[in-house]
Every structure is written in C-alpha cells, then in structure tokens.
Structure 1
Amino acid sequence: MLYYLFRFLEEYGISGSHMWGYISFRSLLALIISLVVSAWFGEKFIKYLKRKQITETARDASIDPFGVKKIGVPSMGGVIIIVSILVPVLLLGRLRNIYLILMIVTTLWLGFLGGMDDFIKIFRHDKEGLKGRYKIVGQVGIGLIVGLVLWASPDVKMNENLVYERQGQELVVKHQSEAHKSLKTTIPFVKSHNLDYSRITSIFGKYRVAAGWILFVIMTILVVTAVSNGANLNDGMDGMCAGNSAIIGVALGILAYVSSHIEYAGYLNIMYIPGSQELVVFLSAFVGALIGFLWYNAYPAQVFMGDTGSLTIGGIIAVTAIIIHKELMLPILCGIFFVESLSVILQVYYFKLGKRHGIKQRIFKRTPIHDNFRTQASQLDPDCKYLITRPRTAFHESKITVRFWITTIILAAMTIITLKIR
C-alpha cells in the first residue's frame, strides 16, 4: 500500500519518495517492521493465550530432562509469525506481483490448515489433531494451486541463461533477450546445465511440453508437502524450527535477489527471473518475523508455534524455491528438515519390520532425530533392541538447538556456493 502511495507522490516530485522504488530499502524496512510487530503483537498475543488457557494438551505432560516443566505454555504462536509477515508485506510489497500473491496465498492457506490442527488439539483435547489425510489434502491443494498458477499465468516468465565461450577459455554468460515460460530448473554442482522437465517427458513426443508441465505441478506438490512436513517435525525444541528457518530464509533471499538481477544472474550462470525481487521483500519480513518470534520462543519457551507456524514456514520455503527454480537445491539447504523426516520414516519402518517377526526394535533412541540427542540411556525401554544408542548421555536442549542452527548455516553456505562450484 505504501509502495503505491509513494510511487504516486514521486510523480509530483516529492523529495525522498523515489526511495520506495529500491528493493534494498523496502526489504530492510520490511525486516524492521516485522521485528517490531512480532515483539509488540507477540507480547499481547501471548497474554491473550494465557488468559484463555490456549495450551497444547499434547505437550502439557512434557518435562525437560534438565528439570524445566513445559506445562501451561501457550500454543498457536504461529499466528504471531503470520501477522508479522503479512503486515510489512501488505504495506511495502507490490501487491500486483504474481509471485507475492502466491506467497500471501500460501501463508494464509497453510496457516489456516495448521490452525485447524492446533484447534483440534487444544479445544477438542485430541492430541492427534487434524487427521493426517486431511493435512495431506491441504498440502497437496496449495501445491496444486501454486503449480497451476506458475503454469498458466502469463506473468510467470524468465530469461534462460546462455553460455558463450571467448578466447582464453573464459566463459561469458548472457541471457535470452526475451522472457518466456520455461520448464528449466537449476541443478547443483552441474556446470552450464539446467534440468528441463520436458526432457524427462520426451517419450510423449509432441505432447512432451504439456507432460513436462504436469510433471512440474506434481514436483511442486511433492516439494511443498515434503518441506512443510519436515518443518513440522523440526518443531520439537524451543527455538529449533524458527532459528533454522530464519537461516534458510536468508539463503533464499540471497538466491531470489541474484535471480532478479540480470548482471548477478549472468555472473552466477543462473536464470534471470523478472519480478522475483518482490520475494526479497517477503523473505525479509519472513526472517524478521522468525527472529522476533525467537524473542519469546527461545529456551525456555514462552510460546510454541504449533502447526499454525511450522506448516506455514515449510510451505513458504518450498514455494519460494519453486518460484526461483531452485527446488532441487532444497535437499541441501533444508538438510535438517530432510534428516528429521528420514529418521522418522526409518524408525517406523524398522519398528514394523521387527514387529512382523515378534521383535521389539528401533534404530534410534527417539525420533525425530533431535530427540535422540536429549534422551539418556536410562530412559530406554529395556525390552527393546536399539541399533544406535549414542550419545549415551543427554545434551541440554539449548545446546542441541544451537548446534542444529550451526549445521543449517553450513548447509545454507554450501547451497549458495554450489552456484559457483559447477
């Protein structure tokens, strides 16, 4: 809103109004506003949650191994994150930008889905929350919407990167003069090569492009579902998911910025995506909201984000990566989420495998994997066989959280480095 107001004032020569045209100015301002909103609104909202006794019953019995009782801690703190994102985005963003519209829709859609899950847990006292199949339907739904919009919208275009070789073996990257729709995406560690989904579907002959778009939509659904579930599993310790996601948000912001700048895109040999600079404003608000939320969510937490926050965070990360054609980099960037999900899948499979043969067995002490590090050997089931029992002692929750943050920082740096190591 303010963006359009000051752009209007610029036409009349009002001093300083031109600053609103700079993406750097609007992004930093979005970061500041989201921090302020999360700090101010967060305090008010937490008091409201306590007054209404809106706490997650599934965690009421949760006691930290080091003695901190997490009883009566409010849930649904994801509302703080969502409000802190949307306020600066609506004030500073170009609301006619198709990418920004998709991000707002994703935030509201998954925020509602996660909110329904938290509502059932809190008010209906059902620790299982929303049925898994309904969650999947909601995640598939937003993935389908995003994929179809990116397929059908005439505003979604990009300039493909073309490599020219000069004397001295120096590679010069230029971009096609006209933007057009493309099914290409960046492959990490592969020089001068992008994956074209229509190549995978070349067996369909003259229908390969249409089949390629269908494959792209399916890929979008899988990525959104996988990352949102991964973020949901990562939300098990105070500050864990918010901190990891803020780091991932910074990395995505850098990738979105260089993708929107034709010179930087040429230097890094990636696709130039006109209009994707508005994602930088959104991601700045996203990072600011998460950092502000950490003010209350850091150990010991004053509020839990709940599925309202974790599902929304995962969806935002996934959709951003898809828009800038970097979805194949998510296994590196979101490595923590990937390992959390994998640990649960392996644990369940291994347990069921043993059950068929009458054996009680597990791979890890506990899953998701972060819980493995805060479980002492004395807490293990003596009737169960464990494949991995290390570490023998439990680490403090805050130490595990910070170490996971450090790991995510390394993965984020590796993701950005892959653009040059090819």
Structure 2
Amino acid sequence: MFVLLINYLINFSSYFKIFSHLIFRATNSFLTSLLISLYIGPYLISWFKKLQINQIIRHDGPKSHLRKHNTPTMGGVMIIISVLISILIWSRLSNIYIWYSLIIFTGFGIIGFIDDYRKLIYKNSKGLVAKWKYLCMSIVSIIIIAILYFNGKNTLSTQLVVPFFKDFMPQLGLLYVFLAYIVIVGTGNAVNLTDGLDGLAIVPTIFIATGLSIVSWLTSDIKLSQYLHLPYISYTRELIIFCSSIIGAGIGFLYFNIYPAKIFMGDVGSLSLGGALGIIAVLLRQELLLFIMGGIFVIEACSVILQVSSFKLLGHRIFLMAPIHHHYELKGWSEQRIILLFWIISFILVSIGLATLKMR
C-alpha cells in the first residue's frame, strides 16, 4: 500500500524514488515487523495468560517440560500479524509471488490455529486429527502448486536446480507437482516437529529466511543469476520483502521465546513459517538448496519417521524419544546445550547452502 503512494508521489518529485528502492523497502519491512512483534508481544502474553491459553505438555515427554505448563502458547499469532502488516505496507502487491506466499503462509497459519485451539479445548497434546491436518495442508498447497504448474508447464519454472551442477537442470514435468508438495507440506511439518524447545525452531527459521532472501536477490538480478548459473526469475524480487518480514518478526518473537520462554510459538506459528519457507524455495526453484539449509528440520523429521518405522516393523525404538532433540534431553543434556548446538549446526548448513551457489 505504501508503495502505491510512493509511485504516485514520484510523478511530482524524483526525490521520492528512494522510498521505492528494494533495499530501502526490505530494510523497513524488517524493522516494521521487528518493532510490531516487540510492541504487541507483552500484550499478547498478558492476554493469553488471562485467557489461560497455556502450553499443553505431553505426558510421555521429558519430565523437565512439566514446569512449562503455565507458559502461554500460540505466540505464532504475533509473528503472523507482524509479517502480514509489514508485507502489506512495503511489498508490491501486484507481484503474484507475494500472493502465492501469503496464501500458503496464512492458510497454514489458520490450520495451525485450529490445531492449537483443539488442544486447548480438549486439554490434550493431540490437537487436530493428523489425517485432517494433512488434508487441509494438502488442499492449500495443491491449489497453489497446480497454478504454478499449469502456468509454467515444460518451461524454466518446472526445471530442477541441482546444487554443484551448473549445466544439469532436468525438466521435471509432473514430478514438479510431487516435489513442490513434499517441500511445502514437508517443511511445514518439519518446523512443527522441531518446535519443542525454547527458541529451537525460530532461530534456524531466521537463518534460512536470511539465506533465501540472498538467493531471491541473486535470482532476480539478470547479471548475477547468469554469473552464478541460476535461473533468472524477475518476480522473486518481492520475496526479499517477505523474507525480511519473517526475519524481523522472528527476531522479535525470539526476544520472548528465548530460554526460559515467556511464550511458545504453537502450531499456528510453526506451520505458517514452515509453509512460507517451503513455498519461497519452490518459487525460487531451490528445493534442494532448502534441503541443505534446512538440514536441522530434515534431521528432526527423519528422526520421527525412523522411530515410527522401526517400532512398527521391528518392535523397538531407535531413539529414547523422537524428535531427536528429546532423545538428547533424556540422555541428560541440558536444554540450553541442545538449543545452542542446533543453532550452530543450522548456521553452518545455511552457510554451506549459500556456498554451493558459487560452486555451481
């Protein structure tokens, strides 16, 4: 909305051009979402405490988590509000990629909100039945994926960018639909599984959003994209605004979520953020790069898959408890040590992912 006003004012004076510059808007989208989240955070925490919107603790989980039962949850509402306001102010709403990302972000957020709400109403940690959660996420994802596929069928938009191989970009065809679905829905669930300790999920999300913002910038610049052998996609310029908003809102939320947490993200936050990272990677044609940069989320999701598969097929568990961060808790590691280790690993993986761009 602000961009429309600036475009109007530019007709009267060229001095207003600075306000429409991408770097200026990205910086301000970051600051806007950061300040909004820092401002509304205390009010949401106080309000949620009055309404007794507190975290539902798993009875079979680590005993150390029982002390967190009075901590408010659904802090993802803070993130969603901050990101949406920032994007509406600073992005060019004529860019279709912004709308694709917003639909996934808000759609997954609504599903997460329903999941959290059911947990609170029924006072258990199960929430929305898994098959219905996946069905809802699938419907939202497939609508966007179908639009992307039919608009870009057998073009650059449905090719796979492979890290380390600059001249190998296979045409996926219908496999594009399957890959995009796995990336969007899988990332949403992976972030959700990772969100089990104070600040554990939000910091890797900030790192990955930073990495994707850099890729968005490189991909939207025709000279840089050619130099790095990346597909040139002009629409991805505005994804920088989306990523900046996520980073700002994430840092603001971290202020309240860092150990010991004053509020938890809840499914409303983890599903929306995971879905956003997934759709941005799909739009950038960097699904495999997200696999590298989001390695922490992949490890957490794989630990659950292995645990369930091993128990059903062989009758025994691989880990003391899944996701894997709970395994280390039960082995006696302190929560702070696990969180810091996962943050470091996430930073290294994002750095490796960005380094592969130069290696292509």
- Aligned match of 1:238: 198
CA distance in 2 between counterparts of 1:192 and 1:273 reads 17
Question: More deviation in 1-10 or 330-339?
Answer: 330-339
SS of residue matched to 1:276:
helix
> What are the superposed Cα offsets for residues 3-42 of structure 1, whole Å, 9 maximum, x if unpaired?
1101110111163x10122111100100011110000111
Aligned with residue 374 of structure 1, among 325, 329, 333: 329
- Aligned match of 1:4: 4
Q: Residues 57 and 66 of structure 2 are in contact (CA less than 8 Å); yes or no, is this contact kept in structure 1?
A: no
CA distance in 1 between counterparts of 2:38 and 2:289 reads 32
> What are the superposed Cα offsets for residues 243-263 of structure 1, whole Å, 9 maximum, x if unpaired?
111001101111111000111
Whether 2:182 is the aligned partner of 1:184: answer no
Aligned with residue 71 of structure 1, among 46, 69, 72: 69
TM normalised by structure 1 equals: 0.82
Give the residue type in structure 1 aligned to 2:199.
G
- Aligned match of 1:308: 268
CA distance in 1 between counterparts of 2:61 and 2:8 reads 54
What does 1:119-134 correspond to in 2, within 5 Å? 119-134=117-132
Structure 1: 5+ residue runs without aligned partners?
A: 159-179, 198-211, 356-360, 377-393
- Aligned match of 1:168: none
More helix by percentage? 2
> What are the superposed Cα offsets for residues 317-352 of structure 1, whole Å, 9 maximum, x if unpaired?
100000010012222111111111111111112222
Whether 2:36 is the aligned partner of 1:37: answer yes
- Aligned match of 1:25: 24
CA distance in 2 between counterparts of 1:138 and 1:318 reads 16
CA distance in 2 between counterparts of 1:68 and 1:349 reads 28
Give the residue type in structure 2 aligned to 1:370.
H
Structure 2: 5+ residue runs without aligned partners?
A: none
CA distance in 2 between counterparts of 1:336 and 1:145 reads 28
> What are the superposed Cα offsets for residues 205-236 of structure 1, whole Å, 9 maximum, x if unpaired?
xxxxxxx1x32222211211111111111000
What does 1:54-133 correspond to in 2, within 5 Å? 54-58=53-57, 65=64, 69-133=67-131
- Aligned match of 1:281: 241
Aligned with residue 321 of structure 1, among 269, 281, 290: 281
Q: Residues 208 and 293 of structure 2 are in contact (CA less than 8 Å); yes or no, is this contact kept in structure 1?
A: yes
Larger-Rg structure: 1
CA distance in 2 between counterparts of 1:337 and 1:62 reads 20
Give the residue type in structure 1 aligned to 2:170.
L
Quickly say closer, same or farther: Cα 1:128–1:68, change in 2 above 3 A.
Answer: closer
- Aligned match of 1:249: 209
CA distance in 2 between counterparts of 1:415 and 1:336 reads 13
- Aligned match of 1:215: 175
Whether 2:256 is the aligned partner of 1:296: answer yes
SS of residue matched to 2:201:
helix
Quickly say closer, same or farther: Cα 1:39–1:60, change in 2 above 3 A.
Answer: farther
What does 1:158-197 correspond to in 2, within 5 Å? 182-197=157-172
Across the aligned residues of Structure 1 and Structure 2, the Cα RMSD in angstroms comes to: 2.0
Whether 2:285 is the aligned partner of 1:347: answer no
TM normalised by structure 2 equals: 0.95
- Aligned match of 1:266: 226
- Aligned match of 1:420: 358
- Aligned match of 2:348: 410
Give the residue type in structure 2 aligned to 1:148.
A
CA distance in 2 between counterparts of 1:218 and 1:353 reads 26
Q: Which has the higher contact order (CA 8 A, sep 6+)?
A: 2
More strand by percentage? 1
SS of residue matched to 1:53:
coil
